[in-house]
Structure 1
């Protein structure tokens, strides 16, 4: 390569190293970009799986609620009380969101719709051919069946049928159908996404679509492609795959999860191209920037190589004047001077004279005259530097000082010099040096210090006549159209108008008096928009009151807008609290009331305005609600009022970071809620046929009795009762008659037993009686009284008398529950074996099972 022959070997080696570094950089850049793309794809898949998990949880909750609703409505329908059933249907339609249900219907065993929540049916409607009916008709157990979407014959709209079986005496008697709107599920899925091309699917395990966040109408009769991962891996609970959807030709990264208790799949797909768009754009910009930077580096390296080659050639040619040229290079292209130490005569060139505003012809001065131009504060430092160098204690004379210009201003100068001639005894005879004007550099140095101390601010350095000497890049970006330099312009360009510019002049008086000033002021940016700034001004040199000024500007426009927005938020919050379905009281950190809504006063029955409580101590709530604990800790308390109402008081501590910022008190009337809870609790603990305690309630009572300490008396006894030949009653008279016999026995038990005794139906015709604090003799008396009473009674069914007897086994309450039950069962079995209709006692200390 002939072109390289002009370069020394060291430069060729340096260029080779630069080229190698560029290649290594590009290799690392491509690898980093591949890693970024891989990370972005992994983040997309992770976000899809997180959203699939969240939607799976929501759908599971929805399905659990719908199954509970279907099972509850089926049980209420089977009671035969249609008014109660229709009231429950109406309540369900009001509780669930509008448009979530299409209808609730009852289908008889032949497949005919006999009830619809839409009202009276117009003619016969049959769903016998529907999947959701046929699946329940052939099912062996009661469960919720989720059918594929159908076009409703009553509603005329697409629905997802959820069916639950109805049985009468163990025989299939029809189904209850809850028809859910797929559009409701689809709209909920759409609300989750911020991008239109992201989708969510709800599918059955066989791949049938139930809902889709987009293109819903196209998939109502469709099934997903068999290539989807979950269609092949039926045992897998979750997974991920990539698929190009034919509906919109969008490739997405999908994550899916099966519901744990329902044959459903939730799948979420995120637009792969959109997810990677930002990373690809960033990579393209990085490639362009790197290409420009690499090209610049290579060109600069080549230019430097050429420069060094030229300098080498110049160095070979130049030999004379090396010392003077060296000083000139060190001092820069500035003025030079020479001093004859014996006479004090100073010789300077034209540039040195121009620097101080002197005529170029005046090339000779006396050193004393020069010293008189030095600022009084700088003379001592200049003389000390001169003495040190002349004594040979420093390699060169260096000093920065202020010199008086002919116009009366001081300029900052930097002087560097060396002794160029000495006598035989070492006495210095002549000095030569250079001088540069560093006023601008000093201003820039001070400017940089201000930039460092006020990071993120717009900064100007202005002269005494209010012209801009320097502006940092933030100021240029904000106030200059197109980023053009604004140095040298009047500061009028940043003011909104002439009036604003003139008014700002008044700040200079305070600035000269105190050395600094601070104000909030409105200026104009490059687009002509007014913006607010917090402006701080300070003299560049505090001892020069008419000197340059550093202005530091902090944009407070967004803060002011945020303050206005905060006021608007407070107004909206006031409206929300005022319409909150409960009483609200807000305290500040000192315990004083900030806010009270009208609902709180209504709940407490106070006839006053909410504002009348503002500013008072929050302890007033404790006086209005006796029994409430107003501690600083968060709590939930239920308070029973004298009028029978129950109020729930929730105390929430408000914290800002780790500091106490106040407290929120919410008061709600839960009287009706508590009544419903008590009704549900009673229903859960009571046998529905006999209204006696069910097995769970009875066992709970038995555990309680056994856990009570009893001194000096028997703990009690357990009676195990079983009707003799009860199967004959059901076979001969029917199950309805059998139910009447069980109700009759329950009536006898309630009439004969004591208030302290507990009687429960354990299942079928088996009953149990718990006799606390009763000995063996007392238990025998009560057992014989029950047996005799039943034997002497009869139940009339359809004009015919039914007589039954029962066998009773007695076990004392001694030992663990399972042993007591086993002994009572053993005694009952003995009574059955000895001819029935009798009372037998368990063998003491013996247990089976």
Structure 2
């Protein structure tokens, strides 16, 4: 039994610990995985923003360089045509661009000498001319190594005339097919740096870089003076040399120690690259700081739960140890009952007359011939063993006992299955139960031998009565006159000494008395003269050297031979042994046992009682109330004793008693009458110390309360349900999340179906990258009636592959999902106009061309560019320019057909993807758009602004780059032919 109890308690305890550890591990796994997902998403958004910014800046640089390229071509043609008008042309060309963009326009002849510079007042200055014959931007044309782009962009150089850092854009001068020199347009890196600073201010950690194809810094939004003229990192140069159109990398430069995520791309059509680096720490710190705080508080909560779990495990272990001890005591009691002669039983008779044997000790097998199991299964077997001549008398005695609730006591014969007749004596006390049945507690023992002896004694009594007046164990005479004692044969035989009829000296006999008993003997000797009967229990040494317990009785008498003492000597060793055995059983009992008389005074106490209440000293004579020292329960015990004497019930109660040191102990108290036939007699009180059990129960209850409080204050919605869906506990956070106007306690006892009726929600699956479905549970999302979105993690709780319940962990993810939608909108639309951006437009074109979508069959691409848009910005300001762009976007949205897609490519350049439009239809739509722009006006602060647009058109045939190239070529022709017109691109 101990092993079973130990195995069960240990298995259950470890199973409970394992379940909670699994729940905690699952929660931490979900928490860390969720944080990893958020960090990955933030890093992807950071990379996406860097890529989009680099693409936007590359487009702006392309527009700037293409304008400078066109300027260089125009000025080169003007210089070849007429040197005299060339300075005026230079002056007008410089005026077109913003101030400080162009530092110098210079012309070098075929020998490399500077023959013109807008920084000198006379192109024919005498003296030693400046020479650029050794500069790369002159040598590349002089040696016939002209670049494929037609324009050469140099590394940053410090101008020999301007004295400032500049970037040289060189184009060849060709007269009649012969190299005649180069035209050099010097632009300011500071202008480009200041333009980058509008996107990334100097105070932030984000930067933008402009590089040439040789990896030299041309401009930087911050710390330009430290890097201009030097090469970029090996990591970026490797990417530039890879042949890819774009790329990304991560770098922490030594000069500012800021780790950034970089994205770069080539400027289309030119040997330039734009790289954008975003500060990782600044971009990710809101996310990582939130993670640190969340992990700290979750770690605190987990520690509280683990400490509570440890306390519960300790208390449960102690409780099971106590249960094992009780089971061991029960097993000892069962073993003790098995040694009792006869059988102890518990018998019940129902109100309908049926009977059952609730318990019978193993002695029934030897006494009746049936095992306890056979008797319990077939109660009639006992009645069949009653001797036919005694059966009616026995049954009648049972009936009388049941009717009057008097003890059942009878002697009768059993006729065993073997044919043997056996005399037995039965005794039982009846008690009426609450259901009307009668319950007997009693015993039956074999008196066949005693009955046979009694029969023999009755037969011989008549013969012996005349010859024997009395039966004595042994006789002795002590002659006080000569101080000698004479023992008869029986006395000598008891001690094992040789028979002798000679008296022995009293001193010799006194020497046979045990030393510990001599004080009692001396006291009796001193009182002999009174002539009263004395009785002593003495130990006498036998011839074998052993001690024999004897009872000495005697009285002093006067005779002819003087005063003498006559007495008897009885062998009481058997009775003393039985008394010692009884006292040993009492003293070795774990319970405190008190025998209390009707006057409430203690008559007998075992060793445990004496140790508890008197530090081992006797308790005899003390009143029961004195032991309790006025603690509650003393009067109640007296009342219980009164009811017990009236035979109404047996006493079973729990009360506190202080021990000898004043420490309070709780006891389970059982009271029974010493003699059931003498209700006015003594009562046996058995006190079992249950202090440790009560302390463990109180501590276990307190620990469970603390664990429930942890759940109720958990930073999120928590609900625990049983295997059949019944809600066991929930916290207020869950009620608040689901909008339940009720307390968590009111949810306890309801089931899952009732909860679903209380919550107005629509369950949707979580996104694929956030969905969980494994042994740790599942994750789903629900949308409430008020539009809030909740994430619910359902974690199964299993013990030995058995489902014992589920744990709900809920959190509000409305703001997170809204943030995702906002990021997606920012990544796909132009923030100023609300139109799709260049990336989305390219993706739509690519998809349409790859899948041959019917709606884009015979489609076309329109590219629009506002005419003289720079003048609007210079005249009215950039805010007015933004209003013009917004106005154009509104016109496009209002005039386009359903299915057409309008987008902003950058600056004042827009594009429209027409679905299902042939060349003629596309021209009509484009012309309608151009006319609408021309006829519209924008009213700003009392000024009416009118704009026109140039439009290039190309059919959707071939690859995306080819379509864009044809549309861009048509747009260029529209600009060149006078602007405010529509031009169809050349067929592929």
| Same-fold call, TM cutoff 0.5 | no
User: With structure 2 as the length reference, what TM-score do the two structures score?
Assistant: 0.33
- Work out which structure has the larger RCO, using CA pairs closer than 8 Å and 6 or more positions apart in sequence: 2
User: With structure 1 as the length reference, what TM-score do the two structures score?
Assistant: 0.37
